[in-house]
Structure 1
Amino acid sequence: MMTETRKFDAQVDKLLHLVIHSLYSNKEIFLRELISNASDACDKLRYLSQTDESVLENDPDPWIKVLLDKDAKTITIQDNGIGMNQDELINNLGTIANSGTQKFLDQISKDEKNSSNLIGQFGVGFYSCFMVASKVSVLSRKAKEERAFCWSSDGKGEYSVSEAMNDVPRGTKIILHLDEHEEFLDLFRIKQIIKLYSDHILVPIFVGRTEDAHEPIQINSSCAIWSKSKAEITQKQYTEFYRSIANASDEPWVVMHNKNEGNETDFTNLLFIPSTRPHALFHPDRKRCVKLCIKRVFIADDNVDLIPHYLRFLYGVVDAQDLPLNISREWLQQNKAIHTINQTITRKVLFELKRRKNDEDYLIFWNNFGAVLKEGLCEPASDHQLILDTCLFYSAIQQKPITLAQYTQELGEGGVIYYLVGPDLEQLQNSPQIEKLIKHNKDVLLLTDPVDDFWTNIVFKYGEYELQPANAKGLKVGADDAKENSDTRDEGVLNEFKKILSSHVSEVRFSDKLVSSPACLVTEEGRMSSRMHRLLAEQRGGALPLEKILEINANHKLIERVGQLMDGKKANAKNKTKDNAELKESLIWLVFDQACLLDGELPRNTASFVKRMNQMLEML
């Protein structure tokens, strides 16, 4: 086969330019990334061998070798994993079909200092080798295939692919040609890097020089750290293992290392909660990052329900002792023992969070992962009460995040927990919906995450306490105030609002909860919130009908002015020529448009809104 030269995919070309010219800090991470890829290739082969031993080709024991050649100025990273054929070399190294690549490019431009963390998280670690290499050659033969292929590039827009003529062992060999950065040809330096980043890789990593007569020696401990007792492991070792599996540079916020013995299965878990939020946490393709091992043999890290999706911020390993090694992914999905592991881990994590919720640094965790954790409140099978026990919500009165336990301390038996959902904290704090509740010292929890629109339509109680939206229709606050307000209510004004707004609202009523605002929009009990309605409308690509209820404040001067205009009183001396009926209608529309704006919606007709507002300003 002749050598075929191709241009890089546009995104790869952009990525390579960024890697070569911008990522100056921490160049040593290239070795971490290439060893991680080699380990993955060995894991894939080992998994396939459970159902097809022939893929091992009389070379059953996995290994990774790192060989230095000072004379040739090359570093070679070789593995005997699954290998790649021609199409896979082109698809994996020449193009990127992963939608996360553009997100990586966008993110790295904002956060160059954290580049070593980002490049691993977004799955583009191979290209880090161009930080140190002027040319990269990749020689690979896929398991059970006879032909081998060579991929080569200098990272400057093109790469070549050709068939290898000599006998090539199964696996992949990556050769880095170093014109500069000769410090990475130092054997001691390479050993240090591998011990720092890759010591816990289960595949043995051998290091040596090509010119030495001695065989390369194993550098990593190749030990399943989770199989040791807690007393044998230092915090530093936990941190190093966490960083190696999470491609992270932060410290773990929580380490959970447990041995679990039960009737259905025995397993060990080593789980980490990060102290910083992974950048792809809310990406639709985000995978859960807890690996399944059986008797220390890696089985899978995707499509296995070891943890629920709302705990996807966890990293770690689950090692089961009594599951068969030769199992299919379909069997794993339906296995009762996996379901038991899921339930056990979920409860352990939630109880650990509940135990820590009063710690000073819990707010850091909550700001990073609270919105993800609340997704569990949307799942029918999850323990809603236990999840609520871990949650923090912003208190309108205390003006800080509090727990539901703190909220209910002041409530009597069968009290009500009030909440309001909206796009941002400032808007909710100034919402007319909570004016009278605050006046009567009734706290309101202000919820601003998009997921809050959904779970509040599913979960209606916390223990014995009812969860009630502050913008619900007919909310009664302060019986004496309601009686006092009834004496000032003009049914004629109410009917005038109904007549003019009949095609835009389902009902107009006097409010018992407004203090300083003229009006607000409320929803029927059991109906979706306005924001949820907008979210669903955006997803469906069009407007959905939503019945609005307008509540008006009988004691507000604007509402009283509507009544005066109905009685024939002029607005002021400047407007003797202005028709009362026109002014009255404009004022009613302005009150309604204000209520819409406070509810997060634009007026139906912005031009008319501006015109009416200008008319009112002219009256000043």
Structure 2
Amino acid sequence: MSKQTHSFQAEVAQLLHLVTHSLYSNPEIFVRELVSNASDACDKLRFEALNDSSLYGDQPNLEVRIAFDDKAKTLTITDTGIGMSAQEAIEHLGTIAKSGTKAFMDKLSGDQKTDSQLIGQFGVGFYSGFIVADKISVESRRAGLPASEGVRWTSTGTGDFEVEQITREQRGTSVILHLREDAREFLNGWKLKQLITKYSDHISLPILMEKEEWKDGENDQPGAMVKTGEWEAVNKASALWTRPKKDITDEQYVEFYKAISHDYEAPLTWSHNRVEGNTEYTQLLYIPAKAPFDLYQRDKHAGIKLYVKRVFIMDDAEALMPQYLRFVKGVIDSADLPLNVSRELLQESRDVKLIRDGSVKRVLSMLEDLARHDKHEAAADAEVTDVVSDEDKAKEGKYSQFYAEFGAVLKEGLGEDHANKDRIAKLLRFASTTHDGLSTSLADYKARMKEGQEAIYYITADTLAAAKNSPQLEVFKKKGIEVLLMTDRVDEWALNYVQDFDGTPLQSVAKGAVDLGKLQNEEEKKAAEEAAEAFKPLLAKLKEALKDKAEDVRATSRLVDSPACLVVQDGGMSLQMARLFKQAGQAMPESKPVLEVNPEHPLIKKLDGSVHFHDLAQIVFDQAVLADGGMPEDPAAYVKRVNALLV
């Protein structure tokens, strides 16, 4: 193949301009990204060679070599991995194989340090080389192809790249960075070793560099470091999760997390365990501090890295972690699964189910531990023990941080994981009418329930303000009864799977007729019954006027200051959930809400005998719709009626 010139995909061209001109605040990340790519290439060869050992050829060793030439100003990272054919070089280096480049650029914040750390997260790590290089050459040969079918890819990071066929004796890939003058610091053996220890010490392949020794200068010439021609490993070359915990520092755990997750923040917590029994495996699981940009894309592949006997099998092994824990990062290394395991086999394997169940329990235990050390709970423990360890102090407030990022996703587990539903319910946090912020657990609420209260009351709404100001809360506020305020879209769906907590039923204040049981004295009940009886003729007229909009109209004691509100029958779909389905374009069965009216409100009293009865009835209903967060079916008609009455 003669030399050919190709144009970059449009988004890549934008990305290269951005990388070359903007992301200088942390240039050293290119070492992490390129070494990680080299390691991945070796992992891919090892996996493919399970079915075809001839791919190794006469190169049985998998390794990464880093060399630099101070005179030529080049830094070369070479691996003996799977390599690339000419077509693969064009596809993988000229375009973004993974979709997400546009999302990457949309995510940029203008904070250079933060922006530069996003590179790996979006699968564009190779392009980080242009942070320090004004030209990159890639020479490669795919395993299984003859030496004559090597390929050289070259680009200066502008609009085009060149591809030509070369003869390459060795399998694998060499990435040759032609460094800019302001990046000469990376032509230094000590500096490179320091960066490899920082970012890539966990990699299980040897990362080799040529040994250097000091040579004294002669004839008044200064001394210098001289290469000896011998190569030595500069990383531990053993998978971090296989080492004893006592030999691993917190800093090493954190750097390993950053390498596998492409996150620039340290994780909230982690758990490293070897599990023995019916099935043997090692797990190293992390809880991130921040939600990724695509957390709510449920069709996105998410999961943890699967190794079998230290051989990398796959990223994003979804069968090992349920969807509601898709934020968990980490590694599971199994001693029992077959080396040629596929995604299909994973779904069916009994051992996988045992690993999944064990991993879920471990994650929930990590969250329970964080929750126990949250600020208010840690303070309560301190009163008992009068001693708070440094480890306990470090965990204070972390659960609140976790819940603000991932609480809505955790709630999905109520419907997805019946076996752990009760444990998940204990981890949930809500705002309430007496407590701001996501600080109230169901156990906290139950401990504060009034004497005679028989249910845990809650309300769902689109926003916290809408929930707090809902007319359905008026009688609860009057009597000082706490109500949980739920504003996540998943709440209504999730609570279908939780009828009670620790034996106490959960009751929506927007479903069914209000029944405060023992919290309502006999006088109040009698007064409500008498008002409803006296109000029957007016209710009949309202039902007739609103027969196309309301399933029923009834008097209520739940309202104090408002004239009316909307509720649904027990077991029915809430109005908020119906709106969400409608916004999502889902077909909904025809259903009408119940209009509850306050017999003591002046507007309701004025209805009886009014010459504007029909218009007032329509206004009362539409105002109840507005108060519930919805929109009248005919906003223009509503405005016209209100204006006519005002005039």
TM score, norm. by length of structure 2: 0.88
Distance 1:138 1:537, change over 3 A: same
1:65 aligns with 2:65: yes
Distance 1:90 1:256, change over 3 A: same
Q: Which amino acid is the alignment partner of residue 560 of structure 2?
A: V
The equivalent residue for 1:141 is: 141
Alpha-carbon distance in 1 for matches of 2:493, 2:99: 27
TM-superposed deviation, 1:438: 2.6
Alpha-carbon distance in 2 for matches of 1:531, 1:3: 62
CA-to-aligned-CA distance 1:97-128 (integer Å, 9 cap, x gap): 53422111111145543123311111111111
1:457 aligns with 2:458: no
The equivalent residue for 1:577 is: none
Query: Secondary structure of the residue that 2:584 maps to in structure 1?
Result: helix
Query: Secondary structure of the residue that 2:151 maps to in structure 1?
Result: strand
TM-superposed deviation, 1:455: 0.8
Distance 1:87 1:209, change over 3 A: farther
Q: Which amino acid is the alignment partner of residue 445 of structure 2?
A: Y
The equivalent residue for 2:593 is: 548
The equivalent residue for 1:53 is: 53
Q: Which amino acid is the alignment partner of residue 425 of structure 1?
A: L
Q: Which amino acid is the alignment partner of residue 613 of structure 2?
A: K
Which residues of structure 2 form unaligned runs of 5+?
213-225, 376-396
The equivalent residue for 1:385 is: 422
1:267 aligns with 2:281: yes
Aligned partners of 1:414 and 1:466 also within 8 Å: no
TM-superposed deviation, 1:288: 2.9
TM-superposed deviation, 1:70: 1.3
TM-superposed deviation, 1:370: 0.9
Alpha-carbon distance in 1 for matches of 2:454, 2:440: 17
Aligned partners of 1:485 and 1:555 also within 8 Å: no
Bigger drift between 101-110 and 475-484 goes to 475-484
Correspondence list, 1:181-192, <5 A: 181-192=183-194
Alpha-carbon distance in 2 for matches of 1:222, 1:502: 76
The equivalent residue for 1:527 is: 572
1:92 aligns with 2:129: no
TM-superposed deviation, 1:481: 3.2
TM-superposed deviation, 1:517: 1.3
Instruction: Identify which of 235, 245, 265 aligns with 1:230.
Output: 245
Correspondence list, 1:367-382, <5 A: 367-379=404-416, 381-382=418-419
TM-superposed deviation, 1:382: 4.2
1:492 aligns with 2:537: yes
CA-to-aligned-CA distance 1:275-320 (integer Å, 9 cap, x gap): 2223332234543342122222222222441211211221211122
Distance 1:93 1:481, change over 3 A: farther
Distance 1:111 1:507, change over 3 A: farther
Aligned partners of 2:203 and 2:240 also within 8 Å: no
Query: Secondary structure of the residue that 2:295 maps to in structure 1?
Result: coil
The equivalent residue for 1:283 is: 297
CA-to-aligned-CA distance 1:105-152 (integer Å, 9 cap, x gap): 111145543123311111111111111111111222222123222222
Aligned partners of 2:336 and 2:351 also within 8 Å: no
The equivalent residue for 1:576 is: none
The equivalent residue for 1:240 is: 255
% identity of equivalent residues: 42
The equivalent residue for 2:216 is: none
Q: How many residues align?
A: 600
Alpha-carbon distance in 1 for matches of 2:7, 2:591: 53
The equivalent residue for 2:403 is: 366
Q: Which amino acid is the alignment partner of residue 435 of structure 1?
A: E
Q: Which amino acid is the alignment partner of residue 349 of structure 1?
A: V
Alpha-carbon distance in 1 for matches of 2:58, 2:560: 82
Aligned partners of 2:109 and 2:115 also within 8 Å: no
Aligned partners of 2:324 and 2:416 also within 8 Å: no
Query: Secondary structure of the residue that 2:316 maps to in structure 1?
Result: coil
Query: Secondary structure of the residue that 1:471 maps to in structure 2?
Result: coil
Query: Secondary structure of the residue that 1:163 maps to in structure 2?
Result: strand
Query: Secondary structure of the residue that 2:338 maps to in structure 1?
Result: coil
Distance 1:522 1:87, change over 3 A: farther
1:394 aligns with 2:396: no
The equivalent residue for 1:252 is: 267
1:601 aligns with 2:630: yes
Q: Which amino acid is the alignment partner of residue 119 of structure 1?
A: I
Q: CA RMSD in A?
A: 2.2
Aligned partners of 2:511 and 2:572 also within 8 Å: no
Aligned partners of 2:82 and 2:143 also within 8 Å: yes
Which residues of structure 1 form unaligned runs of 5+?
566-579
Correspondence list, 1:64-143, <5 A: 64-96=64-96, 98-109=98-109, 111-143=111-143
The equivalent residue for 1:350 is: 364
Q: Which amino acid is the alignment partner of residue 255 of structure 1?
A: W
1:467 aligns with 2:506: yes
The equivalent residue for 2:162 is: 160
Instruction: Identify which of 467, 483, 505 aligns with 2:526.
Output: 483
The equivalent residue for 1:322 is: 336
TM-superposed deviation, 1:243: 1.9
The equivalent residue for 1:557 is: 602
The equivalent residue for 2:325 is: 311
Distance 1:97 1:324, change over 3 A: closer
CA-to-aligned-CA distance 1:340-369 (integer Å, 9 cap, x gap): 011111112213322331422121111111
1:407 aligns with 2:445: yes
Aligned partners of 1:79 and 1:172 also within 8 Å: yes
Bigger drift between 194-203 and 350-359 goes to 350-359
Alpha-carbon distance in 1 for matches of 2:40, 2:425: 38
Bigger drift between 206-215 and 531-540 goes to 206-215
Aligned partners of 1:117 and 1:248 also within 8 Å: yes
TM score, norm. by length of structure 1: 0.92
Alpha-carbon distance in 2 for matches of 1:269, 1:467: 37
Q: Which amino acid is the alignment partner of residue 343 of structure 2?
A: R
Alpha-carbon distance in 2 for matches of 1:217, 1:119: 30
Q: Which amino acid is the alignment partner of residue 151 of structure 1?
A: W
Instruction: Identify which of 426, 445, 453 aligns with 2:465.
Output: 426
Bigger drift between 361-370 and 168-177 goes to 168-177
Query: Secondary structure of the residue that 1:457 maps to in structure 2?
Result: helix
Query: Secondary structure of the residue that 1:455 maps to in structure 2?
Result: helix
Alpha-carbon distance in 2 for matches of 1:302, 1:276: 18
Distance 1:329 1:464, change over 3 A: same
The equivalent residue for 1:435 is: 474
Alpha-carbon distance in 1 for matches of 2:297, 2:63: 34
Aligned partners of 1:271 and 1:316 also within 8 Å: yes
Distance 1:330 1:413, change over 3 A: farther
Aligned partners of 1:259 and 1:268 also within 8 Å: yes
Alpha-carbon distance in 2 for matches of 1:57, 1:281: 42
Aligned partners of 1:68 and 1:208 also within 8 Å: no
Aligned partners of 2:511 and 2:574 also within 8 Å: no
TM-superposed deviation, 1:90: 2.1
CA-to-aligned-CA distance 1:180-225 (integer Å, 9 cap, x gap): 2111112211111111111101121112399945133211112222
Alpha-carbon distance in 2 for matches of 1:417, 1:462: 8
Aligned partners of 2:432 and 2:440 also within 8 Å: yes
